[in-house]
Amino acid sequence: MIYAFLTGFILGFSLILVIGAQNSFVLRQGLIGRHVFIVALFCALSDALLIIIGVAGISIFLNNYIDLVSDWLFGISAIWLVGYGLLRLRDAVIGKSALIAENSSTNGLASTLSFLAVVTFANPHVYLDTVVLIGSVSQQFSGNTKLAYLLGASIASFVFFFSLSYGAKLLAPIMKRPSAWRILDGLIALTMFIIAVKLAYSGNWL
């Protein structure tokens, strides 16, 4: 149970940390102190919904075929994670990452949520990460352990977005430094590689 929860939490947290428009917008809202709670809640609930769809949807879709395709599913997921890890490792070496808050006028709640919905649901990577990847990795678990995995991945979203929103003023000066992102990208790469090895082993690829 604990292993499944931690796997979901670490994988979910690592995937969210990738720099994007959504994270930059959440950081900006935290810096200006506008709609902080609503913005964090919207992002966390959106992620959790997509994660539930991924875990439950893939489970139903593959219910009768999981024994036949599980090895391939684990292998493909492992390769996918290695690819993510290599991208993060590249950024760690190059050191080009930086999380910069957007400079734009303060908007009302409706326009803020409208923009947030676009940068969240119009991004194809969010579906690849939550529905496909997290959903696929969940297939190594069953019953209560799968539920623990789902909870871990969902809670990671709440921890990340609320930490980013309310810790923005503390995080911004640090995360604008390329050296800080080098360390973070390196840790994310290591995490991806470790989970990939475990999946490859579960799928009899190692």
For the stretch 6-10, contacts whose Cβ atoms lie closer than 8 Å and that sit 24 or more positions apart, written own/partner, are: 6/152, 7/137, 7/149, 7/152, 7/195, 7/198, 8/134, 8/138, 8/148, 8/149, 8/150, 8/151, 8/152, 8/153, 8/154, 8/156, 9/152, 9/153, 9/155, 9/156, 10/152, 10/156, 10/191, 10/195
So what's the pLDDT on residue 48? 94
So what's the pLDDT on residue 62? 61
Convert the pLDDT of each residue in 34-92 to its tens digit. 899 999 999 999 999 999 998 887 766 665 555 566 678 778 878 888 888 898 888 88
Q: How many domains does the chain have?
A: 1
So what's the pLDDT on residue 43? 94
59 in Cβ contact with 136 (< 8 Å): no
Q: Under 8 Å CB-to-CB from 8, ≥6 apart: which residues? A: 134, 138, 148, 149, 150, 151, 152, 153, 154, 156
CA geometry: angle 195, 100, 154, nearest 5 deg: 35
So what's the pLDDT on residue 70? 67
Domain that holds residue 92: 2-202
Q: For the whole model, what pTM was predicted?
A: 0.75
